[in-house]
Amino acid sequence: MALELTLTADERAHEARVLEAVRARIAEARGAISFAEFMGLALYAPGLGYYSAGARKFGAGGDFTTAPEISPLFGRCLARQCRDVLVATGGSILEFGAGTGALAASLLATLAALDALPERYFILEVSADLRARQEEHLARLAAPLAARVVWLDRLPATPLAGVLLANEVLDALPCERFVMRAGRARRLGVGVDAGGTLCEVELAGDIVLPAGLAADALPEAYRGELCPSLAAWIASLGASLDRGLVLAIDYGLPRAALYHAGRTSGTLQCHFRHRAHGDPFVNVGLQDITAWVDFTAVAEAAVDAGLEVAGFSTQAALLLALGIERDVASEADGPARYARACEARQLLLPTGMGETFRAIALTRAFDEPLSGFALQDLRRQL
C-alpha cells in the first residue's frame, strides 16, 4: 500500500530527478531493469540516491531510528566485545555506514574507560551528508579520542587486525525479488506503465534459488527476495581482515525461517518519516528500501571467504551477555535509570528489536571465546 504523505517542493523536485534517472535507465535497457538495479539507483545513485543525497535519515527528523540512536547502552555493550578482541589482537575498528556517529562515539568513550582504545577508528561511509554529521558529532569527543577517527572512501588496501562492525548495513544491499509461478521462481523487475509510472514487471528467466530451498516447497504466488551482492560483500570483508572479528547485526533470519511457506509476501520494507510500508515506487530517492537478511547466506559466504562462523544469536541475547542489565542498574540517578530501562526495553523485547535483530560473529585467526555469544548459540539453525 502506498504511503500518503505530503512532500515539500524540494522533495518533489528531488524525486522527479531520481525518477528521470530511473526511467532513462529503463529506456536504455529496452523496457525493464532488475529490481536490484532499481534499488541500487534509488539508494546509491551519486547525488540522487537516498544514501547519496542530503535527506535527513536518522532520529526524530528522519525516517527511522537505529539502536545506537535509541540508547548509548548499545555502544557500551558492543565496546566490551570489541575490548576482548582488541586486547588479544591489537589493531583498529572499522565501522561500515556509521549513521550519525552515535555508535562510534559510544564505543570510543567506553573503550577509553576500559583502557582498550583501538589504534584507529575507521569509518567507511558512502554518504557525504552522513559523513558531515559524523564529523560534527565526533568532534565533540575529547581530543585524544576524536583524533583516532579516520574516514575512508574504500576498504583499506592492507588487511587490518581488530574488529569490523556492520550494524544495519546488510539489509540495504540491493536485492532481487521473485514470485513463484507454476513451480518456477520468476524474476521481478521494474518498468514503466503507459502513464510513465514505475511498475513491477516479470522478467525473462528464472531466479536461481539459494541452496536447500526447493521451488516445490513454496506456494504459487509466493514472493521473496535474495541478495546477489552479499557473497562478494562478505568476501571483501574477509580480504580486509587479517586477524580478529567481523560483527554484523541486522534484522533477518536463517534461510529455513526466512523462506518459510507461510511468509508469502516477502520482507521488502520501505521507511519514510518513521512509517514503514511496502511500496518501493513512491518517494523514490527519499525513502529507505530494505529486505531481511538471509543469515544462512552470510554464513555460507563467510566460509567461502575463509572466515569462521564463531557465533549467532538474537540481539537480546548479545546485549544481555555483554552486561546491558548491569549498565541500567549502575545509573545512580533515578530518572536516568528509568530512562535507560525504557531504552533497554526497546533493544531487548521481542516486540522491539530483541528477537527481530540477529547478530553474527565471523572470525579469522582468533580462537578466544566471544563473551557476547556466551548466553545463546543459534549456529545450528544456519
Instruction: Indicate which CATH number applies to the domain containing 320.
Output: 3.40.50.12710
pLDDT tens for the chain, 382 residues long, are 445 568 889 989 999 999 999 999 999 999 999 999 999 999 999 989 998 875 555 444 555 689 999 999 999 999 999 999 999 999 999 999 999 999 999 999 999 999 999 999 999 998 888 899 999 999 999 999 999 999 999 999 999 999 999 999 999 999 999 999 999 999 999 999 999 999 999 999 899 999 999 988 999 999 999 999 999 999 999 999 999 999 999 999 999 999 999 889 999 999 998 788 999 999 999 999 999 999 999 999 999 999 999 999 999 999 999 999 999 998 878 888 888 999 999 999 998 899 999 999 999 999 999 999 999 999 999 9
Rounded to whole angstroms, the Cα distance separating 318 from 300 reads: 22
In a domain, 331, yes or no: yes
- Cβ atoms within 10 Å, residue 329: 12
Query: pLDDT for 145-179, tens place per residue?
Result: 999 999 999 999 999 999 999 999 999 999 999 99
Give the pLDDT of residue 4: 56
> Helix crossing, 102-113 with 128-138: angle to 10°?
30
Domain-embedded: residue 259: no
State how many domains the chain has.
Answer: 1
* Domain assignment present for 105: yes
Buried residues in 197-214 as b, exposed as e (16+ CB within 10 A): ebebbebeeebebbeebe
Asked whether residue 201 is assigned to any structural domain, the reply reads no
pLDDT of residue 95: 98
Give the pLDDT confidence score for residue 128 in this predicted structure.
Answer: 83
Residue 374 inside a domain? The answer is no
The parent domain of residue 301 ranges over: 30-176+229-252+290-365
Q: Does residue 4 belong to any structural domain of this protein?
A: no
Is 299 inside any structural domain? Answer: yes
- Percentages of the chain per state (helix, strand, coil), in multiples of 5: 40, 25, 40
What is the model's pLDDT at position 1?
A: 45
Phi and psi dihedrals of 308, rounded to 5? -100, 135
* 378 inside domain: no
- β-pairing verdict for 92-96 and 160-167: parallel
Q: Tell me, what amino acid is at 208?
A: V
Helices (H), the chain: 9-28, 35-44, 67-70, 72-89, 102-113, 128-138, 143-146, 230-240, 255-258, 295-304, 315-321, 324-329, 334-348
